[in-house]
A and B are shown apart, each in its own frame.
Chain A
Amino acid sequence: MSALYNYVLNLADNTLILGQRLSEWCGVGPFLEEDLALTNTSLDIIGQAKMLLELASEIKGDDETADDLAFMRDQHLFKNVLLVEQPNGDYAQTMLRQYMIDVYHVYLYEELSNSSHEKLAAIAEKSLKEVTYHKQRSELWIKRMALGTQESHKRMQNAMNHLWHYHHELFESNDEIDELVQQGIAANPEELHKKWDVEVKDLITQTPLEIPTTGWKATGGRVGHHSEYLGKMLCEMQFLQRAYPGCEW
């Protein structure tokens, strides 16, 4: 499959899987306003997934539609990073994952708004407005919990200890991506990583949070090596279309 297809599908799967994860909070959020806010965030992100999957389907150019890509694809063909498939955990874990992705999305879409690929640039321009707002929200939550009570700080630190190792994967590169960067289509992962590091570490220094130093880095999502969590999620997400192909309501 083409380099561009793989690139767009990684972006699409990151948003699809994250959107699905966030939607699991629907109806069980910590309080009503937060429940609404997080599910609206989820809706934005699933909207982005839809646009990106439609683009991926168009690039692929056969009869596999965006819906087929979402609902009929097996786990090993998903290209999302492991971070987005991690379980929601408690609210600290959900919001830290969200913040890590939000900062990434803001810089990514900023870059892609200038992509030489016209459709990708249009999707990025549209999505940038949404993720900028998401970031304002998740950033506040990190501060609120990290600087809050002993309990909320402990939870945020636990989230940090668990999730930090997963962010490196967002910035992985390979020959295909390098080629797309050369062509002015893709965002340079190394540049994104630098900007991400500066912003996230700046926020962390405003809090008592500590970055874990084990050095372990999660990897594998882009080539279809996923954690045990993705399959279980897909079972639920894909059930209806697998059991009743083409079902509409």
Chain B
Amino acid sequence: MINKIKQMLAQVTDPEIPVLSLGDLGVIRNIEVDDEQVIVTITPTYSGCPAMEVMEQDIIDILTKEGRKVGLPTKIKVETQLSPAWTTDWITDKGKADLLKYGIMPPSRSGKIICPQCKSKDVELLSQFGSTACKALYRCTKCLEPFDYFKCH
């Protein structure tokens, strides 16, 4: 049953980065299921991230809709766990590859940042924050395209 729930949750994506499923984002900490209820425990990315509330609702919606077909309990709860604090190290390799393909440079512990478009290493920081709190804004000095970098966190 847990595996089935995982498959359902794979369809839920970050509303601000629609290529990244919650599993690949690394925010799902635990799944519990018994006769009465399903409890999905998630961890927030950034404290003020407005996407978290949408994610919670999306989890409830999908498990209610799809869960009905496989006989999941109808009571779905989403709980939040703060510690250990989320880190971008929990984004899966698949998630990182998907981000790059989508045009967002994935977090890089080595500090090597390349342009997702032309793969050039000649890039410059425009702003420490991009379109969301989790990203910084860069520009490729070769193809001149601006791009988001998913910051290490």
- Which residues of A are in contact with B by a Cβ distance under 8 Å? 33-34, 36-37, 40-41, 43-48, 50-51, 119, 121-123, 125-130, 133, 136-137
Name the CB-closest residue of B to A121.
B83
Bound CA span A34–B129, Å: 8
Q: Which residues from chain A contact B127 at a C-beta distance below 8 Å?
A: 33-34, 36-37
Q: Select one of B48, B83, B126, B129 contacting A122, CB under 8 A.
A: B83
Q: Select one of A41, A45, A123 contacting B82, CB under 8 A.
A: A123
Q: Which residues from chain B contact A130 at a C-beta distance below 8 Å?
A: 46-47, 133
Query: From residue A144, how far is it (CB to closest CB) to chain B in Å?
Result: 13
Query: From residue A242, how far is it (CB to closest CB) to chain B in Å?
Result: 23
Known contacts: A34-B127, A36-B131, A37-B127. The answer to whether A122 contacts B46 by CB under 8 A is no
Besides A40-B132, A47-B46, 12 new A-B residue pairs in contact (Cβ under 8 A), listed by A number: A36-B130, A37-B127, A44-B133, A45-B48, A46-B48, A48-B47, A51-B47, A125-B83, A125-B84, A126-B47, A130-B47, A130-B133
- Count residues on chain B whose CB falls below 8 Å from chain A CBs: 23
Q: Does B144 contact A (CB under 8 A)?
A: no
Number of A-B contacts (CB under 8 A): 68
- Which residues of B are in contact with A by a Cβ distance under 8 Å? 44, 46-50, 82-87, 126-133, 137, 151, 153
Secondary structure class of chain B's binding surface, majority of residues: loop
Asked if B82 and A136 sit within 8 Å, CB to CB, the answer is no
Bound CA span A47–B85, Å: 14
Q: Select one of A44, A119, A128, A137 contacting B46, CB under 8 A.
A: A44
Name the CB-closest residue of B to A123.
B82
Q: Select one of B82, B129, B132, B133 contacting A126, CB under 8 A.
A: B82
Bound CA span A34–B87, Å: 25
Q: Which residues from chain B contact A122 at a C-beta distance below 8 Å?
A: 82-83, 85
Q: Which residues from chain A contact B137 at a C-beta distance below 8 Å?
A: 33, 36
Asked if B84 and A50 sit within 8 Å, CB to CB, the answer is no
Query: From residue A240, how far is it (CB to closest CB) to chain B in Å?
Result: 18
Bound CA span A40–B129, Å: 7
Q: Select one of B48, B131, B132, B153 contacting A47, CB under 8 A.
A: B48
Query: From residue B113, how far is it (CB to closest CB) to chain A in Å?
Result: 16
Bound CA span A130–B129, Å: 12
Asked if A44 and B48 sit within 8 Å, CB to CB, the answer is yes
Asked if A50 and B48 sit within 8 Å, CB to CB, the answer is yes
Bound CA span A139–B49, Å: 24
Name the CB-closest residue of B to A33.
B127
- Sample (8) of A-B pairs whose CB atoms are under 8 Å apart: A33-B129, A40-B129, A40-B132, A50-B48, A119-B82, A126-B82, A133-B128, A137-B128
